[in-house]
Structure 1
Amino acid sequence: MNDYAHGGPTEDAVRIPEFPDQFARTHRFSLGVPRRFTVSPDGRRVLFLRSPGGDDPVSGVWLYESGRERLIADPRAMAAGPAEVPEEERVRRERARETSSGVVAYATDAEARLVAFTLGGELWTVRTDDGRGPRRVPTAGPAVDPRPSPDGESIAYVTGGALHVLRLGGGDLTLAAPEGPGVSYGLAEHAAAESMGRSRGYWWSPGSDALLVARVDDTPVRRWYIADPADPAKPPRAIPYPAAGTANAEVSLRIVRLDGTTAEVRLPAAADESSHPPGTWTDTAFEYVASAGWDGSGPYARVQTRDQRTAVTLAVDPLTGGTEPLDSEHDAAWVELVPGLPGRTASGAAITARTAGDGLRGLRIDTADSPAGVHVREVLAVHGERVWFSANEDPSEVHVWYHDPAAGFIRLSEGPGVHLAEAGGDTVVLDSQTETGRTVTVLEGGVPAGRIAVLAEEPVVAPRPVLLSLGERELRGQLYFPSWHRPGSGRLPVLLNPYSGPQMQLAVRARAWWTCVSQWFAEQGFAVLTVDGRGTSGRGREWEKAVHGDRLAPVLRDQIDALHAAAERYPDLDLGAVAIRGWSYGGYLAAGAVLHHPEVFHAASAGAAPTDRRLYDTHWEERFLGHPEVFPEAYERSSLVPYAHRLSRPLLLTHGVADDNVFFAHTLRLSAALLAAGRPHSVLPLSGASHTVTGRGQASSLLRLEAAFLKRSLRTA
């Protein structure tokens, strides 16, 4: 690969050997970064999680108050709990891609004075107003997802699939207990947590006297098993996994009161076929509880049909469990679930999504519509009549907006970057990722009043992306050159480093772990190109749904068109030596690239690639491809296994053996098909690794092994 190098090494090039170790040690530069903010309703207190340093994985609970921050719950200073994390908590963390330890989640009462969290299954509380420090609270069993009541007098938690409420004055009540194996109360099922964005399974009433609770029956769901080949004495772990076309968990809702009375929520069985969009496959059964909650106007739920073309928001009667539709949404492809919706202001004004005339996703608050040209991403917070949300005008940036009935729609954040926020009272915590790093600013009355420290390590390699808009579709991309390369000094092999899948963008104007990785690969001697194609967020309905019925061909076409457009603009890109790498959907795209377009791509490194679309979950996969028995051709053309015989380029397949999102079976099936077709390839199994590789030795070595494989492959291609 040194044949491509021209010019002397820069400081970054000299330090590149350090980067993989730093990348692994810092958990992708996430350690020391404040997160999970809660702002009290009066705006005086800000709670958050953070580890003490950029290479410390143990997070604690911090309080920012009166311009100062202090650690109020330090796991290292507390009595150690059981070493084993409860299985339900392990699953919850995996669905959330949680990589740290210590306190990884917490909840508060309405005034943010009582904080509840778990350590090793033990329930702990700490108050923000008495300075006495954390105290352990005995529970009926290992506690999962504890949440204080709004009045701070009780704490609900789940143990053994049962929902309990612990009265802090004394007494532990079992409010809902499973009737048999496979049943649980108060937890989110796999499809909800992995594919719908709903990680919760119960919600307190504002009056602290009742809860809206999800009952999940996993009995109909097919069991899959994950074994540990490195420990043959260890029994396999059974996982209820609803693969495309198979049975889902049965999810229902109940109103459970502290006096012991309950009411079944009468969810509608199916959508009205007269308003439901027609399709070759139509399933109007409301199998999905997409979101739920309980606000000042009462409990509510949003249900979605199995074919995902209708979603209905329901008001729930807290006494009888009866329901009444508040809003419905239909789409000929699928109804997109917007995080934070549905919602209501304090007066009960509805907050809903709408598709504007320009095809962008807008927001309607009562009768007020968000401005044209603004694509709404997420509703971040609702306080009184003010609604905070994130949105973009340019897809490479995300900004914080709010709506006030008197002032209208106002953009708060400034400058290029990806900005998010949490709010309470007149205080806003603005979390900004920009091209120079991350900052967390506390605003009071719209004016900066302080900072919450970001303790993450500075990457030893500084990203230097060239921002691009490529081809007739104006594909947003970033091109990384080696720091030592000078234009015209010699041609460089090209490495495409995309994700380009739904709900995630890489070509954004912010320094992130993936921009650092791209620059590191550039320092190895590549010109690295990252492109967000069709199917990604931020560019409206038609762009997002261009992958309906085909998850591969349109996205690959965008990568190829962007590659050629970039090479026309930058002649140093060598189209005779092109590699591609990626993880998860990006890994699927990388493997698909060398199978379908060996004339363009000369080598690929594919990590955790979903190679057989029938093996992914119902809600995610049927959204794009429909039911596999009705659209077998869509699953055939979108899968990789049927095309194994086409491989003619070097391919490295990497996969975590313990992955319970994209199962190891995906890589094994593709490898078996490649072997049967006599196609040489390489397989790297990662023992004990899940979908996110966190093992320090594995994560650091993997980058080096990928770089070596790609260099070697392009030399011999």
Structure 2
Amino acid sequence: MTEKQSSPAPHGAERPDSTGTTPVRKSAAVSIAVPDFPRQFSRTHRFSLGVPRHFSVSPDGCRVLFVRSAGGEDPLSRLWLYENGAERMLVDPTALQEQGGELPAAERTRRERARETGSGVVSYTTDGEVRTAVFALGGELWTVGTDGGAPRRIATAGPVVDPHPSPDGSRIAYVTGGALRVVCIDGSDDRPLVVPETPEVTYGLSDHASAESMGRSRGYWWSPDGEKLLVARVDNSPVQRWYISDPADPGKPPAEIAYPLAGTANAKVSLHLVPAQGGEPTVVLLPESAPRDPHPAGEWTDTAFEYIPVAGWDGIGPFAQVQTRDQRTVQLLAIDAGTGATEVLDRWHDPAWVELVPGAPLRMPSGGLARTFIAEDSLTGLRVGDAVSPAGVNVREVLGADGERLHFLANEDPTEVHVWRYDPLDGFTRISRGAGVHQVHIGGDTLVSESWTPSGRTVSVHSGGVEVGRIAVLAAEPSVTPRPVFLSLGKRELRSQLFLPSWYEKGSGRLPVLLNPYAGAGFQLVVRANGWWTYVSQWFAEQGFAVLVTDGRGTPGRGREWEKAIRGDRLTPALQDQLDALHAAAERFPELDLGAVAIRGWSYGGYLATGAVLRHPEVFHAAVAGGTPTDRRLYDTHWEERFLGHPEVFADAYRRSSLVPDAHRLSRPLLLVHGVADDNVHVAHTLRLSAALVAAGRPHSVLPLSGATHLVTGTDQASGLLVLEAEFLKRSLGL
């Protein structure tokens, strides 16, 4: 595959002068202040505070637990109970006499992987009947009942990470110092179950690749009868070490993390069956390799099952899903709870990579499988026994089974996600209504529905198919009102949104254009719901821009071929879609000024923004790029090898997909932003690109964010950054 050549400059585009800047030009760009939005955006943690989340519905449907802060600018999460049509606070951390000390390092890492920005009770777990909840607060273990009793602290052997009660609520397992321990609910008999043999080993925690790239944040699971636990053992000794420091605090020692770079060794992960009363663990006999399938000459094939994306117990017994290093083969294994022997229940293979669909495959109580498949239209279908989901329905997640009935999430239009149900009597039925993104949590006859729509968020409680109540959403009302125009652009029908200033009158002049994409794998921006990104896009529009957001090839919701289009080249197809969307939008909206085009983005969006000014300066006149993965070899194994393979085998793919080799091509203003404490996309990415730009004599700007990780949460940093971005883009476009 060869890199596409740059296209000629469009009519009206201006060439950069010798300084790399664009001459001052006139346009319709004025702006309205909305001065409070950047501070509001940061104080509300992207409007996430006050939103109920982490729902647990009791099996009888009578109790619903959730966490929520007290308001839209309150970062302290409380634990709440919804029962008999009313809400009641179970835990207010401010009322507890002892709130613990500093978070354990493992807990900080777990929260970073989960993109958790709040404090207080940010997560909890329950017994099987949802009558007892346990949680960690500042490394201390707490429990509370739903019967109205006060929270109670339980003494432990060390700082607590990820506690889980047994299904009957009599004991609590937790991790401390890499060891898995168990303590009785009354605080007695605290003892270790499995202890790490070396400092490189942990029991009961997830490894980096599983937590960051596969969505598995847990490392142990209770059996339904509470007699055993299935436990992940992680040996990080083979993994390369990175050292994350804060140059603004030179007296603070750097943090050491095990980060598996593409092409390097992963952590060794194994599963063990551990008796809850203590005793010798049983090793689960995981497969070492998969049958070798023929691949085209020169293809990298690694059949070792290095990955465990899913594990746990269901009504039949313990199970695990394992994936080969090359990600082309996945097996679902039934585990013998006594011997640890495994049996292959299902196996599937894909010549590119097997996409991991959350919740699938699912063992039904009858022993049959609900499994996904790729349909003729390239969408992901669902097969339950002999029943097959309707054509045109793209399955996103399997939520779980209630007897032989199950619920799942799927889309027909890629800008929406709906809740579907399969029932042997009624077949497949869509049960959510109205445009938006929907989610559901089920217990007995009770269904808690979360809906993100163009008009906001709602959480409704249904019983017997009838809405019986609502759980309050206390999020702040944004000071801007999104006004997106939904578009389907170009021959690939690229789903896009165009945001125009509220004050703009058609025919009053031309507007500079700002592309504001993410456009990467695993996440969509163009959905019929208001998220934090829609508010940011509208705020930039109020600064005088026509803001265009496009989900191109590689994003979810449009089928297997769409997702695979970026295999071997993570930049060219995605960037071409941004170009095509821009020109198609300009044909339909003549007020878009193609002589003044900028682009901004974070993470993969920052990668696109940097690639845009490096490879297409005839189209893009300025860029702001944050948290940018500039060198694909510096990203982790599971995520990067999925798209580009092994870097020693496919060196050209990594070179083609990396930005550092293109540094000499920069001729437009570029602002690079990076959190120096980022342990996901390390600041080395930006520093290496900056060094290459300096060596090539290319002017650029670098803005380091002291103490910031991949998710910028500091109130002053997050608000100030938006203002600085807007000013940089205006100045760079000569507005």
Residue from 303, 309, 329 that aligns with 1:284: 303
Deviation of the 1:2 alpha carbon: 10
Please tell me whether the aligned partners of residues 464 and 481 of structure 1 are also in contact (alpha carbons under 8 angstroms): yes
Please tell me whether the aligned partners of residues 600 and 623 of structure 2 are also in contact (alpha carbons under 8 angstroms): yes
* 1:163 matches 2:180: yes
1:206-605 equivalence runs, <5 A: 206-259=224-277, 260-274=279-293, 280-605=299-624
SS in structure 1 opposite 2:36? helix
How far apart in 1 are the matches of 2:580 and 2:64? 47
Residue from 25, 29, 40 that aligns with 2:47: 29
**C-alpha RMSD over aligned residues:** 1.3
How far apart in 1 are the matches of 2:611 and 2:125? 43
Please tell me whether the aligned partners of residues 29 and 511 of structure 2 are also in contact (alpha carbons under 8 angstroms): no
How far apart in 2 are the matches of 1:79 and 1:383? 41
SS in structure 1 opposite 2:447? strand
SS in structure 2 opposite 1:671? helix
How far apart in 1 are the matches of 2:152 and 2:383? 44
Please tell me whether the aligned partners of residues 276 and 310 of structure 1 are also in contact (alpha carbons under 8 angstroms): no
- Tell me, which stretches of 5 or more residues in structure 2 are unaligned? 1-23
Please tell me whether the aligned partners of residues 490 and 580 of structure 2 are also in contact (alpha carbons under 8 angstroms): yes
How far apart in 1 are the matches of 2:94 and 2:140? 14
User: 1:64 maps to which residue?
Assistant: 82
How far apart in 2 are the matches of 1:711 and 1:380? 46
Deviation of the 1:274 alpha carbon: 4.1
User: 2:11 maps to which residue?
Assistant: none
How far apart in 2 are the matches of 1:598 and 1:61? 51
How far apart in 1 are the matches of 2:25 and 2:182? 64
Deviation of the 1:275 alpha carbon: 7.5
* 1:88 matches 2:143: no
How far apart in 1 are the matches of 2:164 and 2:617? 53
Please tell me whether the aligned partners of residues 6 and 486 of structure 1 are also in contact (alpha carbons under 8 angstroms): no
User: 1:625 maps to which residue?
Assistant: 644
How far apart in 1 are the matches of 2:245 and 2:36? 34
Residue from 119, 124, 131 that aligns with 1:101: 119
Please tell me whether the aligned partners of residues 6 and 489 of structure 1 are also in contact (alpha carbons under 8 angstroms): no
SS in structure 1 opposite 2:633? helix
Residue type of the partner of 2:289?
A
* 1:140 matches 2:183: no
- Determine what percentage of the aligned residue pairs are the same residue: 69
Please tell me whether the aligned partners of residues 277 and 309 of structure 1 are also in contact (alpha carbons under 8 angstroms): no
Q: Deviations over 1:422-463 (max 9, x none)?
A: 111111111000001100011111111100000000100000
SS in structure 2 opposite 1:477? strand
Residue type of the partner of 1:525?
G
Please tell me whether the aligned partners of residues 462 and 516 of structure 1 are also in contact (alpha carbons under 8 angstroms): yes
SS in structure 2 opposite 1:17? coil
Residue type of the partner of 2:586?
A
Q: Deviations over 1:36-77 (max 9, x none)?
A: 111111111111010000000000110001100111011111
Please tell me whether the aligned partners of residues 219 and 232 of structure 2 are also in contact (alpha carbons under 8 angstroms): yes
Q: 1:276 to 1:207 in 2, by over 3 A?
A: farther
Deviation of the 1:278 alpha carbon: 7.8
Q: Deviations over 1:308-363 (max 9, x none)?
A: 00000000000000000001111111000111223222323312211111110111
Q: Which runs of 4+ in 1 moved over 6 A?
A: 275-279
Deviation of the 1:155 alpha carbon: 0.8
User: 2:13 maps to which residue?
Assistant: none
Deviation of the 1:488 alpha carbon: 1.4
Q: 1:274 to 1:568 in 2, by over 3 A?
A: closer
Deviates more, 1:659-668 or 1:382-391: 382-391
* 1:4 matches 2:21: no
Deviation of the 1:214 alpha carbon: 0.3
Deviation of the 1:495 alpha carbon: 0.1
User: 2:138 maps to which residue?
Assistant: 120
SS in structure 2 opposite 1:537? coil
Please tell me whether the aligned partners of residues 93 and 99 of structure 2 are also in contact (alpha carbons under 8 angstroms): no
Deviates more, 1:87-96 or 1:481-490: 481-490
Please tell me whether the aligned partners of residues 29 and 545 of structure 2 are also in contact (alpha carbons under 8 angstroms): no
Q: Deviations over 1:69-101 (max 9, x none)?
A: 111011111123333100000000000000000
Deviation of the 1:179 alpha carbon: 0.4
SS in structure 2 opposite 1:272? coil
How far apart in 2 are the matches of 1:245 and 1:283? 11
Residue type of the partner of 1:675?
V
How far apart in 2 are the matches of 1:381 and 1:68? 27
Question: How high is the TM-score relative to the length of structure 1?
Answer: 0.98
Question: How high is the TM-score relative to the length of structure 2?
Answer: 0.95
Please tell me whether the aligned partners of residues 276 and 284 of structure 1 are also in contact (alpha carbons under 8 angstroms): no
SS in structure 1 opposite 2:441? strand
Residue type of the partner of 1:143?
V
User: 1:19 maps to which residue?
Assistant: 37
How far apart in 2 are the matches of 1:323 and 1:6? 65
How far apart in 1 are the matches of 2:634 and 2:528? 34
Deviates more, 1:244-253 or 1:81-90: 81-90
How far apart in 2 are the matches of 1:277 and 1:127? 59
How far apart in 1 are the matches of 2:36 and 2:98? 34
User: 2:3 maps to which residue?
Assistant: none
Residue from 631, 638, 642 that aligns with 2:657: 638
* 1:615 matches 2:631: no
Alignment coverage as a number of residue pairs: 710
* 1:152 matches 2:152: no
SS in structure 1 opposite 2:231? strand
Residue type of the partner of 2:500?
F
How far apart in 1 are the matches of 2:248 and 2:401? 49
Q: 1:424 to 1:498 in 2, by over 3 A?
A: same
How far apart in 1 are the matches of 2:198 and 2:269? 15
How far apart in 1 are the matches of 2:106 and 2:599? 37
User: 1:698 maps to which residue?
Assistant: 717
Q: Deviations over 1:121-162 (max 9, x none)?
A: 00001111x211210011111111000111111111100000
How far apart in 2 are the matches of 1:476 and 1:220? 43
SS in structure 2 opposite 1:715? coil
- Tell me, which stretches of 5 or more residues in structure 1 are unaligned? none
SS in structure 1 opposite 2:173? strand
How far apart in 2 are the matches of 1:350 and 1:529? 43
Residue type of the partner of 2:50?
G
SS in structure 2 opposite 1:494? strand
SS in structure 1 opposite 2:358? coil
SS in structure 1 opposite 2:331? strand
How far apart in 2 are the matches of 1:74 and 1:137? 17
